[in-house]
Every structure is written in structure tokens, then in C-alpha cells.
Structure 1
Amino acid sequence: MQASAIQSTIKLRGIDDVIAFIDSCPGIRGRAGVIWWLALGGLFLDAFSNSALSAGLGPMTRNLQLEPSQVALLTSFASWVAIAFNPIGGWMADRWGRVKPLILAKVFAVTGALLVVYAPDFDMILVGRFFVGAAYGIDFAIAMAVLAEFTPVKLKSRLNTWQGMWYTAVCLNLVLALMFYSWNVGDTIWRYSVAATAVFGTLILVLQALFLVESPTWLARKERLEAAARAMTCIYGRAFVAAPQSERVPVTNLARRGIANLLLIFRGIYLPRTILAATVQIGQSIQYFGIGWYLPLISAALFGKDFVYATIGALVFNVCGIFGGFLSPLIGRKLGLRRASAFGFAAVFVMLLTLGLFNGRMPTWLAVVVPSLFILFHSGGPGANGKSLSSLSFRSELRAGANGVIGALGSIGAALGLLVFPIFRAKYGLETTFLILSVVPFIASIICFAIRWDPTRTEIHPDNEANAPQFRGDARDTRDVEGFINPAIEKSRS
């Protein structure tokens, strides 16, 4: 019995052993599956928090008698805050690990929700939205890194599942808004939607505090093999031990310079990856938060001011987001994340062009179909891929920091989209606003077709990479980036 236990013990000599074991797993099961879905649960909360005001924006505007400029500031404020907290969250995760910042983000989310619920005036709502933006910025930078580090290489495209969770949260918000409306709460309905955020936030906070385990990949990359072995034992239910010092494989090119490490993502092989991920992230943020977030208002413009009809219309649109979001892993696996983004942007451009040129003159069925297709193409393509591209393109000690920087750029796009839509709509009208915003997916599509990096089309794991002087794009080479033969790839070719 003792000999059998010794034989079943898995020795970890370095990060390669950690990655090899995770990649050998047939799926994401057991404690690893719990951690994976809890990370997604945090992203669900981020979506729920960001969309909580969307369904009740019309009643809130009347309730607080807000001017268009105040609406623009209120809706975009959390995104402006997230611009700062995206890189801060990435820095925290790369320095202190994944779990503690994730828990802190939930504390911020619940605090922000409670402040908004009980806010007596516009200024206090802004304070609450500050905490919501901080939570969003921290959580997205880290949760996507966690998903990447617990996902076997053959299941990379499954990271896109977060997009389906996003639209599930949005639709749940709309369904709850209909329920709250039936309670005859009047124009204060927005407070009830935000209160639901506090409830969900508290639940996810408790579950993450109980079940999250530190990422073994991050621990091994930091050369903390004893802690990595303990984490692996806890997560996978197998006995792992750290190899003796004499047998350990040192981590090559380990970045140790704190925030200065972020400069690495703008050099060598990482620069095209950063440009691609940032383009997708910025483009999808502008088109979603400039159009998709305001779907309840757009629905009201299309189908009338009645709250129920407008909300049901927005719900129909966003159900297409659920289908597209949960299909996006399959689409990404078939086309690759880059091409899925390029084709998705192109399709969104056509939909916005159609809305801009023919809105108001389309039959009712087409007025429903076009915005629905906009959400479907967005969620099935670029909507999911910006964060997945940044999470899969960088090695462990750079991953959360890169997510933070690229997420901050995406937050700038979100803030711009949220800010310009009410202003442009008031100044130019709905149709012209659609035409102006259609420029964004058009340019993004061109860039995605031009840059050829795709993490789902390479056989080299980012955590086994060092900085290389050149960029190989989609090409598959039997040599790794330092010029040494990669035996695993060479064997698969022979």
C-alpha cells in the first residue's frame, strides 16, 4: 500500500510539469471545474453590475430628472474608473496571486451596489459606480487569467464561454426588471435592479472565498514549487510533491521587475499579439457599449415608450447574445479567434450600416431581426475574443498584467461608447449615430485580417516562451522562440 502511494505521487520539477499535467486532463472537472465556473461567476457578476442600470435607465432618467450629459457621465463613469483599475488588478495578480484580488473585487462590487441602492442623489450614485468600476477593472484582468491557467490547451477556445455568461446576466437583469415592474414600484425600479446585484455579489463572494485555490501555473512560474504542489493536490485530488532542488528546472526569462514587466508586451513576438488583442477589445467595447448596452432605449425608439414592450424587445435582442456567446467557443475552434473576430466585425459593420440607412423604414420583423443579428455576430465573434486573445497570448507572470493593460484600453472603448451614444443621439439622431459607430467595426475588421497571430493556431505554450526577436504569425515551427528544437512538436509532425 505504501509503495503504491509512493508510485502514484507526481513529482513537479518546474512549470513544464504543471502545464503538462493540466494539458493532459481530458476536461475541466472536480475542484478545477468548480474554480473555473466560479471565475466565470465573477464575470457574470461584472456583467450583471454593468447592465443593472441599463434596463431601468429610462425610469432612472425620469426619476432623477437627469440631463443627457448626466446620463452620459453616469453610464460611462464605471468604465472610466475601470481604465485605472484594469492594470492595477493585473499588477496585484502578478505580484500577490489570483485569489486575494478576486475576493477584493467582489467586496468592491457589493459595496458599490449598496451605495447606489441607497443613494439620495446623483453624486452618491457616482460614488457607488466608482466601486463598481474598480471591481470590474480588477476582476476581468484576473478572472480571464485564471480561466486560461485552468484550461487544457486543447480546450483553449472554451474561454469564450464568458461571453455567453455575460448575456445570460443581461437577460436575467431584464427578466427581473419585468418582475419588479409588476410590483408597481414606478420609476424607482432601477434601485431594485441594483439591489439584486448586491445579492448576487454576496453569494459569489462567499463561494469564491470558500472554494478558490491559487493558480498552480502562477505559483510554478514564480518558482514556488512547494506551494504549487499543494495547490495541485487540493485541486486535482492527486498526490503532488516538489522535486528536490537538484532536480528542478529553473524558469527561463522570468520577469522580475514589477510594473516594468508590462513593457515586454510591446516588444518582440508580443507586440503583434498586443495590437491584435487591443484592437479586438477596443472595437468590441465601443460597438457593444455604444449600441448593445443601450438596447432598451433603442427598443423603446423602435417599439414605443411602454416599459414592458421596450424591455421585452431588448430581451429578444440579448437572447441572441446568449446563443452567440455559448457558440463562440465552437466558432473560435473552427475559425480561430482572429478570423472569428475579423468576420464578426465585418458582419456587425453591415448590421450598423443597415440600421443607419434604413431604420424607421424597415418592416417590424426586420427591425427585430437586424439588432438581433448585430448582437449575435458581436457575441459569437469579437465580443468574446478580445479578452480571450489577451489571456492566451502571454506567459503566466505577464498574463494578468497584459489583461490589465488591454482591459484598460477596452474600458476606454467602453467609456467612449457609453459617453458618445446619448450625446450623438441627442445631437444627430439615432440613424446617424449608427452610421458614425459603424466605422469602428470596419477598421477593426481590417486590422484583424492583417495581423496573423492566433493562440489557437500555435503549438507553443506561452509559458514555455521567451522573448524572441521576430514574429512568426500563424506559421508553425518545430523550433521554439529561443531557437531550440521543440521535441513535442517535432514528434507530432513525424
Structure 2
Amino acid sequence: MVDVPKNGIGEMNVSHGSKNKYGRMDSELLDDLGDAFIQHNHQVERKRITMKFVITCGIFASLNHVLLGYDIGVMSGAIIFIQEDLRITEVQQEVLVGILSIVSLVGSLIGGKTADLIGRKWTMALAAIVFQIGAATMTVAPSFEILMVGRLLCGVGIGLGAMIAPVYIAEISPSAVRGFLTSFPEIFINLGILLGYFSNYMFSDLSVHINWRIMLAVGIFPSVFIGIALFIIPESPRWLVMQNRVEEARSVLLKTNENDETVEERLAEIQLAYGIGNADKHEDKAVWNELLMPAPSVRMMLVTGLGIHFFQQITGSDAIVYYSPEIFKVAGFKNNSNLLAATVAMGVAKTAFILVATFLIDKLGRKPLLYVSTIGMTICLSTLGFSLALLGKGQLGIALAVLCVCGNVALFSVGMGPICGVLSSEIYPLRLRAQASALGSVVNRVCSGFVSMSFLSLSRKITFGGTFFIFSALSALSVFFVHTLVPETKGKSLEQVELLFQDQPKLQGSKIETGDAEHLAHNS
């Protein structure tokens, strides 16, 4: 027998044959402690592997958004040289810039259907292929007409990609980090915009016949990584359940959740929400009929989902990005190099603050960030209108214009930018999610196209300052919208979020109670 001091408090006898006061062998306790330690290490390791896997899926699924962002960023500078090279008019310039947003609604509508037919993953592949063809056509375009053909194809590809990535990521993400992961597409849009600005700046000194073509051609390269991604990321487990491929869905959930109990709980929720085994469920009216003639709960989902898309674009976010060189020119900048350098600064601010939102969205929640974003944007837009209308082209006017533009895009990136995609991908029930999200993308692109195609003409009639006063008033309305109609979805599963729009939702912890589950299965 060996006496072991115990921190000066007393002595503890340890012997292979001795028993403690509970009558258990000390060796058994040591075995239990060893098993617990191994179990803990196993859980930690599984959590690490799970997070690594879902982050990889989120990154690869967001690559199409690099293409969207790059197109937005590069076109703001390339249009200067296209106008000079192809001798296009101001109206043609507006059409060339704005038509992408309008045409992308076609891609979004197609994407909602293809996402349900061929799956989320292969819809992303289709988006990349269509965009590649369009970008290559634009690169070699000898005339405005051919350029427009390429632009139309790019628009369809962007529409496909813009609606499917948030849906896919929301459906594959654990609840605790869904906001973080679903904001990835907005990060990649901003990264693409920044790359577009750098491309403008780097190639601006080349021949006017060559530089804009190289700028557009660079946008083809990210699609190579998209092809690689298709061999790595799995299909959405919720889409697999829709296809009654339950075992495949379980296999994916095992890779994206930390423990088996959570996997079975989530799988049961998904099956119940979609109505597996419920014969009456599949006799319901078609999805589009349900969206056009919605039940009260679905109507509230649509008001929230479509409304946030509307306010994201009607406040001029895309117009500021597309026409930032024109805005800075009105503010007092003199040459193209300085204009493009200022847009790079704007792109840096836009990209940096989306990273802030990414790390706060699951900690603070959706609504607090939306409040900061919408209130801050309202202040920046009204101040920018004041600067452009009253301060003229002096140094103070230039400095204030740059500060307000950078502040506006930064505050947009903190809230309205990423959270629009997050909310619209998590509030709809599974059977409606893809096509309702597609409808949201349509509203987004229509508003973006309307603003982009009318911005220059409107600014010529009521001045740039007057235009930004209108944007600031619309931004003030968005604050009211967020306060009254946007629910907090932080930490809830997709199936629990659906219950927020029911008449009497009752959530308890991380589980859906039996009564609620039955209500969800029969009425949603």
C-alpha cells in the first residue's frame, strides 16, 4: 500500500485492492475516468472535423458569388473604357450595366425549379457554366450587340448562383453557426467586387481596345475552382429527404453535426416538416399556387422575405457600387486613376466590414445588426446627398463624399448585405424554400436593375444630391420594416424558424414539442 499526499489536506490510500466509500474499486474509477477522457477527446475531435467540413462546404458553395461580385466591381471601371472603345451612348451604358440585374431574375426563376429537380449542388454547376459562356462572349465582343448577348448570359448564370448558394448553405449548416456560414456568399460577393476594382486599377493603363477585355476575361478563372468544389461538397440533406433518400441524408448529417443524437433529432424534424409518410401532404396544391395564394403564415414569410430583398436594393446599394466613379467625379475627382483608386478604398471598406458581420451574426443576432445597418445607412445617404448638393467640388466635399460612400457600403455589409440572404434562406418551409428564395432573388434583381438603369438619368434630372436624399428616405423606411416585421432567428433550427410564423409557436430549448411538430406537419 502506498500513501499519497493530497495537497496537504490529508492522505489518500491507493491500492489496487482497496474500495472507496461507494464500494467501488479505485481501479474501476480510473477506468471510468479514462473512458470519459477518451470520450471527451473524441467529441472534441469530431466537433473540429465537423466545423472544418461545413466551413469547406460554405466556401465552395459561395464561389459563384465571386463571379457576381467581380462582375459588379469590374463593370464600374470597364464601362468607362467600353464607352470610349465602342462609342456607346449614355442610355446604352445604363442598359449594359442594369440589364444584368433584370435578366438575372430569369436565372433565379429557373434556379428555383432546377434546385428542386436536379438538386442544390448541380444547380450551382449550371450557374457556373452559363456564366463562363457569357463572360467569354463579352471578352471577344466586337460590338455593343454581341457584348449584350454575353451580358444576358452572365445575368442568367448570376441569377442561378445568387439564389441557390444561401439555400444550400442554410440547409447543410448546424443551427448554432448557420448565420455565420450563410453570410459567406456576401463575403465572396464583396471579395469579388474588390478583385474587380483591383483589376480595373491594374489594367487601366493598357490600350483602350484591350484593357476592358482583359478585365472581363479575368472573371472566368474562379469557375475552375467551382468545378473542383463539385467533387468535394455533398448534396443538401434536406433535398435528399425531399427525394426520399433518407439514408443519404443521414450520412450527410453525420458529417455536419457533432453527435449522433442531434443527427437523429434533425432528421426527424426534416422528415416531419416535409411530411414523409403523410399521404395527405403530397396532395397539397403546387408550390407556385401556394406562393401566389398563400396561407396566413406563408404570407407573413413572404412579406418578410421579399421585403428585405426589396429594401436591400431600393436604397441604392448596387447603384453606388456600379456608379461610384461617376459619384466621385461629381464630388470633384479629376482623372480616372484617382477615381479607380477611390473605388478600391470603397471596396476595402465593404469587404472588411462583412467580416465583422460574419463573426457577430450568431452572437448578437440578426435584428441588432440590421438596426445598426439601416440606421447608419440612412445617416450616410442623407449626409452624402447634403455633400453633393451643397458643398460643391472642394476638398471638404470630396472628403465627405468618400467618407459617406465608404461608410454606407461598410454599414450595408454589417447588416443588410449578408442578413438578407441569411433570412430569406431560413424562414421558409422546406417544400417552398428553393422557389420562395428564387422569388426573393427576382425581387432583388428587379429592384437592382430598376435602380441601376435609372440612376444616371434620375441624377441628371434631380441632381446626384437629390437622388441620394430619395435613397435616404427609403432607407429610413427600412428601419421601420426591420422593427415591425423581421423576427429573430438566431440559434433556431430551420424547422423551428418556421414555427415563428405560426399562430402560436412554442419552442422549448432545441427541440420541437410533439404538439408543435404535428401542427407543423399538417398546416405548413
TM-score interval for Structure 1 and Structure 2 normalised by the shorter chain = 0.7 to 0.9
CA contact (8 A) 2:85 2:209 kept: yes
CA contact (8 A) 1:396 1:463 kept: no
Q: TM-score scaled by structure 1? A: 0.83
Distance 1:471 1:451 in 2: 16
Query: Based on CA coordinates, which of the two structures has the bigger radius of gyration?
Result: 2
Cα offsets for 1:139-191 (capped at 9, x unmatched)? 12111111112221111221223322222211111112222124x22254221
- Which residue identity is paired with 2:133? T
CA shift at 1:377, angstroms? 0.8
| 1:160 is the counterpart of 2:183 | yes
Equivalent residue for 2:247, pick from 221, 226, 234: 226
**What residue in structure 2 maps to residue 441 of structure 1?**
475
For residue 320 of structure 2, what is the aligned residue in structure 1? 291
Paired residue for 2:301, among 273, 281, 285? 273
Assess, with a 3 A threshold, how the Cα gap between structure 1 residues 181 and 290 changes in structure 2: closer, same or farther.
Answer: closer
239 and 483 in structure 1: CA distance in 2 versus 1, 3 angstrom threshold: closer
**Partner residue of 2:229 out of 201, 208, 211:** 208
1:43, CA displacement in angstroms?
Answer: 1.4
**1:434 & 1:209 partners in 2: Cα distance?**
42
User: Distance between the aligned counterparts of 2:309 and 2:108, measured in 1?
Assistant: 13
Q: CA deviation at 1:284?
A: 1.5
Structure 1 segments, 4+ long, off by >6 Å, are 233-240
Deviations 1:370-423 (A, max 9, x none): 111111111111111111101111233322212101111111111111111111
Identical aligned pairs, as a percentage?
A: 19
- Partner residue of 2:456 out of 417, 422, 441: 422
Shift of 1:471: 6.5
Tell whether the 8 Å contact from 2:73 to 2:194 is kept in structure 1 after alignment: no
Kindly report which structure 2 residues correspond to 1:42-81, keeping only aligned pairs within 5 A, or say none: 42-81=64-103
Q: Tell me the residue number matched to 1:388.
A: 422
My pick for the range that moved more, 132-141 or 281-290, is 281-290
**Alignment match of 2:203 (pick from 175, 180, 183):** 180
Q: Which has the higher contact order (CA 8 A, sep 6+)?
A: 1
Distance 1:232 1:334 in 2: 24
Over 3 Å counting, the alpha-carbon distance change for 1:268 and 1:137 in structure 2 is: same
Aligned to 1:117: 139
1:273, 1:453 within 8 Å by CA — same for their partners in 2?
no
- Closer, same or farther in 2 for the Cα pair 1:454/1:26, shift >3 Å? farther
Instruction: Classify the secondary structure of the residue corresponding to 1:223.
Output: coil
| Residue 82 (structure 1) shift | 1.4
Which aligned pairs between 1:74-89 and structure 2 lie closer than 5 A?
74-89=96-111
Deviation at 1:231, TM superposition (A): 4.5
Tell me the CA shift for residue 249 of structure 1: 9.5
- Mapping 1:325-404, distance limit 5 Å: 325-359=354-388, 360-361=391-392, 362-404=396-438
Runs (5+) with no aligned partner, structure 1: 1-20, 487-494
Q: Given the superposition, is the C-alpha separation of residues 433 and 334 from structure 1 closer, same or farther in structure 2, using an over 3 Å criterion?
A: same
Does structure 2 retain, via aligned residues, the 8 Å contact 1:102–1:138? Answer: yes
3-state DSSP of counterpart to 2:54 = helix
Alpha-carbon deviations, 1:35-59, whole Å to 9, x = none?
2210111211221133331221222
Does the 8 Å contact 2:287/2:432 carry over to 1?
no
For residue 251 of structure 1, what is the aligned residue in structure 2?
272
Question: How has the CA–CA distance of structure 1 residues 163 and 464 changed in structure 2, closer, same or farther, with 3 Å as cutoff?
Answer: closer
Q: What amino acid is aligned across from residue 179 of structure 2 in structure 1?
A: S
Q: For residues 190-220 of structure 1, what are the alpha-carbon distances to aligned partners after superposition, in whole Å with 9 as ceiling and x for unaligned?
A: 211110012222x133213332321122212
Which moves more between the two structures, 355-364 or 342-351? 355-364
What's the secondary structure of 2:204's corresponding residue?
A: helix
SS of the residue aligned with 2:310?
Answer: helix
Provide the C-alpha distance between the structure 2 equivalents of 1:94 and 1:485, rounded to a whole number of angstroms.
24
Residue 108 (1) aligns with residue 130 (2): yes
Amino acid at match of 2:427: S
Answer with 120-129 or 231-240: which moved more: 231-240
